[in-house]
Amino acid sequence: MSDSGAVLPWLVIRQDDNGNRYRVGRYTTQEEAQRAADKLDGHGHKQLYWVERIGQSARPQ
């Protein structure tokens, strides 16, 4: 790791109506990522948002 970059191991993932998945943000802590996912999820769209750690793909059931 270089001194110039922050460690951002937590991802917010979005899945659209067609099953396409996108990374929409990277965060330092799980709590920070979850707050972002909850905020996006609260917009009332049909997309699904969840948090995962880099290297641990765990799509919600």
When the pLDDT of each residue in the chain is averaged and rounded to a whole number, the result is 86
Is the pLDDT reported for residue 3 higher than 70? no
Band (pLDDT 50/70/90 cuts) for residue 17 is confident
What DSSP string runs through 1-61?
A: --TTS----EEEEEE-TTS-EEEEEEESSHHHHHHHHHHHHTT--S-EEEEEETT------
Mean pLDDT on 6-15: 92
pLDDT tens digits, one per residue of 30-45: 999 999 999 998 877 7
